[in-house]
Amino acid sequence: MLKKMLEQFGIDEKRLMLEWVSASEGDRFASIVNNMTEQVRALGPLNWNQGGKHG
């Protein structure tokens, strides 16, 4: 639902991740966070002009 809405706002679905990690899965948690960070970094900053006047 959130993904569909974000798509309407022009936000790449790769910027949203939903994962279930147990408290015992430390390594998995770290690797998911690292992967997500890398993925978002690769996408670069949003071309987001929220207050300004010109698009």
Partner 1 sequence: MAKLKLALYWAAACGGCDVAVLDINEKILDVAKLADIVFWPIALDFKYHHVEAMPDKSVDVCLFNGAIRSSEQEHIAKMLRSKSKVLVSFGSCACFGGIPALANLTTRAEIMERAYIEAPSNENPNKTLPQTKVSVPEGELTLPELYDNVLTLAQVVPVEYFVPGCPPTVDLILKVVNALATNSLPPVGATIASDKTLCDECDRKKEKKMISRIYRTHEIIPDPERCLLEQGLLCMGSATRGGCGALCVKVNIPCRGCFGPPAGVFDQGAKLVSSIASIYQTNGKQDIEKMVNELVDPAGTFYRFGMSVSMLKRRIPQKT
Interaction site with partner 1 (CB under 8 A): 1-6, 8-11, 46-55
**Smallest distance, partner 1 to C-beta of residue 31, A:** 24
* DSSP annotation string for 13-49: GGG-------TT-HHHHHHHHHHHHHHHHHH------
**What would the two tokens of residue 19 be?**
């994962």
Q: How far is the CB of 22 from partner 1 (least distance, A)?
A: 20
| Residue among 23 and 53 whose Cβ is closer to partner 1 | 53
Query: C-beta of 24: minimal distance to partner 1 in Å?
Result: 25
Residue at token pair 């279930």: 20
